[in-house]
Amino acid sequence: MKIAKKIFVGSIILLLLTPVLVVAEVNDSTHTATTGSNGPYSLGDIYVRHWAWFSHIKARGSRITWDPPENLTFEFNETNGTVWMNFYLTIHHRLAQGVIPILLRPRYTLLDHLWISDLQTDYFDVFNESKCTNPNSFDIYTINLTKDIQTLPLETHGQQKNLTFWLNMGVDGGLIKTTLPDNTIWRFGRFYSNKGVIAINITIVPKL
């Protein structure tokens, strides 16, 4: 009992001594799909099942699977030798087995990061954190990769291009967060839970 009291008091003191940490806002998912389910610009479906870190340590906080689209070749209109892309990725997430300590609630699903790149340029570089609260069924939302967040036009000049779709993903948790120098968010478990989920080639075909 004395040891438990010391740990509790120590935790309170630690929180009081870290003023850079702030209480998080509620980050509910507000994404909308670019096209319909399994549409022509889908990058597939990701299924995330949140697990307790300590009861399933090898899972690193989550079980993540990717259901790819049937076709990884995408056609886009070419204008002045360049293409602006338009994809979406569907996320299904839910709380699963294991006791999640109250200090690690709420839980968030992370895309940390998602890239679509060639050897020189990241045309998409996305960090996304979405709150997960449902233990009974999957909540579904979409991540849109559209012209407004594409970093540069893809130069095609009538030729198809091969790009790589990369996804590093995981979970984090808790009400306490801090904003890092790159404007992404740190919560407990963010870097520990990250795992490579996807690294696959996609083909971009320009339509003249």
Question: What are the pLDDT digits (tens) for 85-124?
Answer: 999 999 999 998 666 666 678 999 999 999 999 999 999 9
Task: Please state the domain count of the chain.
Answer: 1
Instruction: Answer whether residue 127 is part of any domain.
Output: yes
End-to-end CA distance of the chain: 73
Query: Quick check: 61 and 115 in contact, CB under 8 A?
Result: no
Q: Which residues contact 58 (CB under 8 A, 6 or more apart)?
A: none
Instruction: Answer whether residue 8 is part of any domain.
Output: no
Query: Quick check: 61 and 53 in contact, CB under 8 A?
Result: yes
Instruction: Answer whether residue 116 is part of any domain.
Output: yes
Instruction: Answer whether residue 142 is part of any domain.
Output: yes
Instruction: Answer whether residue 9 is part of any domain.
Output: no
Alpha-carbon distance of 185 to 47, in angstroms, equals: 22
Taking CA atoms, 195 is separated from 65, 98, 198, in Å, by 11, 20, 9
Of 168, 163, 154, residue with least CA distance to 73:
163
Tokens for 40, please give them.
Answer: 């022509």
Alpha-carbon distance of 202 to 124, in angstroms, equals: 13
- Per-residue confidence at 28, pLDDT binned at 50, 70, 90? very low
Instruction: Answer whether residue 10 is part of any domain.
Output: no
- Domain extent, residue 32, equals 21-207
Does the predicted model carry a pTM greater than 0.85?
A: no
Instruction: Answer whether residue 109 is part of any domain.
Output: yes
Instruction: Answer whether residue 144 is part of any domain.
Output: yes
Tell whether the model's pLDDT for residue 10 goes beyond 60: no
Task: State pLDDT tens for residues 154-164.
Answer: 999 999 999 99
